[in-house]
Amino acid sequence: MKKYILSLFILVTISTTVHSQGCVAIRTVGGLNTMEHAGMMHEGMNIEDSSKWDLNLSYRYFSSYKHFNGTDEQTQRVKDGTEVRNYNRSIDVSLLRKINNDWSIGFSMPLIYNERTSKYEHISNAATSPRFATASSGIGDIRITAYKWLIAPKVGNKGNLLAGVGVKLPTGNYKATDKFHYSLTATREGPVDQSIQPGDGGLGLTLELNGFRQLTSQWSLYGNAYYLINPRGNNGVSTLRGVAIATPPTASQATAIKYTSNVMSVPDQYLLRGGANWTKEALTLSLGGRYECIPTFDLIGDNTGFRRPGTVITAEPGANYMFKKFNVYAYLPVSLFRERNQSYPDILKTLDTKIFSRGDAAFADYSITIGVGYKF
């Protein structure tokens, strides 16, 4: 009987914003964010697997459009037709090289195409105003990770534990631009919304922990923890969609500058994930939960700039099928809880005006991920 842990996959369905709308929770940094780490564990196979390489190609898609302020859904946005819709598509390429029985090196690269439609970013949110689209595409932020077995998979072992430390490179374009309509026939060029930028502009440090525990011949448990430390405060990219700062600044521009939301932040992000697997020969079915967060405050560096802090909890059913050196998998995370938290600019404004401030954000109901892996 084969005993596999599922390929571990990170999908994004969160969003948040300051005085506007957006979408994106923890940003993909290639491949799995956490790693498939126990695929060699099944009867009849030597733990000293002769495969040195593990290649994963995966596609994910989600669309966000339901707006939240805190945990309150703003259902009127969809009714009024003023909601923002983000369409996020990515192909993640992940390559792992086994160095020896203890160490591996992983390389992960996302290929991204994002599209965003809205009214407010263009002419106005009026009922008669048309909806226009902006888009971005290209390579995202690449991640290189060193993995070390803390508890290695061995014959007779019921579980294992794998740690990873990596670097997230600012390879993705964080200054992508497109055309914004200020009339039906006239446009201006400006940076697209932070939620559809392929990169964030920060050099980051990633930490992860991946665990697996066999319960019976068919049942097992898995768990993952992942944290991206982004020390850079903000990347200096304007959030004004191509509108130049006036001299003197307009009232809205002066407010944005005062509370630092005129430029894009480079936030931390983290993930907790866990669940159960049921395996029958080559097929594994799983059901788990995932907690994803972009925090208001980073571990290192300042918190200035426009960011989308928020949390989402999802239920994640999945399926994985193994065939010799190939495996195919699919996951469908479904949102159970969504919350748009206060950002640092929100807090600054609240302290300054003594009036509570918090922007809204658009969240997805579900995500779709399909992929294939190959060991060689």
Q: What is the CA radius of gyration of the chain?
A: 22
- Statement: residue 287 has pLDDT above 60: yes
Domain boundaries, the chain: 53-375
pLDDT given for residue 15 in this prediction: 28
Average pLDDT, the chain: 88
Mean pLDDT throughout 43-72? 82
Q: At 311, is the pLDDT very low, low, confident or very high (cuts 50, 70, 90)?
A: very high
Contact between 299 and 329 under an 8 Å Cβ cutoff? The reply is: no
For the cut 60, the answer to whether the pLDDT of residue 315 exceeds it is: yes
Q: Residue 28, class by beta-carbon neighbours within 10 Å (0-12 exposed, 13-18 middle, 19+ buried)? A: buried
Q: What is the mean pLDDT of residues 326-355?
A: 96
Q: Is the pLDDT of residue 19 over 90?
A: no
Tokens of 344: 């640092």
Given a contact cutoff of 8 angstroms between Cβ atoms, the answer to whether 294 and 310 are in contact is yes
SS3 352: helix
The pLDDT of residue 49: 59
- Burial of residue 8 (CB within 10 Å: 0-12, 13-18, 19+) is buried
The answer on pLDDT for 7 being more than 80 is no
**Does the global pTM surpass 0.75?**
yes
Banded pLDDT at 28 (limits 50, 70, 90): low
Start-to-end CA distance of the chain, whole Å, equals 22
Work out the percent of the chain whose per-residue pLDDT is above 70.
87
Residue 182 has pLDDT above 60, yes or no: yes
Q: So what's the pLDDT on residue 17?
A: 29
Check residue 42 and give its pLDDT. 38
Q: What's the pLDDT band for 50 if we cut at 50, 70, 90? A: confident
Neighbours of 365 (CB within 10 A): 15
Q: What is the pLDDT of residue 14?
A: 26
Helix H or strand E encompassing 288: strand 283-294
pLDDT level of residue 6 (50, 70, 90 thresholds): very low
Residues 133-169 have pLDDT tens digits of: 999 999 999 999 999 999 998 877 889 999 999 999 9
Q: Which residue has the tokens 């992983």?
A: 106
| Ranges of H-type helices in 18-102 | 76-80
Average pLDDT over residues 30-58: 57
Q: Quick check: helix, strand or coil at residue 346? A: helix
The average pLDDT across 270-291 equals: 95
pLDDT value, residue 205: 98
CATH number for the domain whose boundaries are 53-375: 2.40.128.130
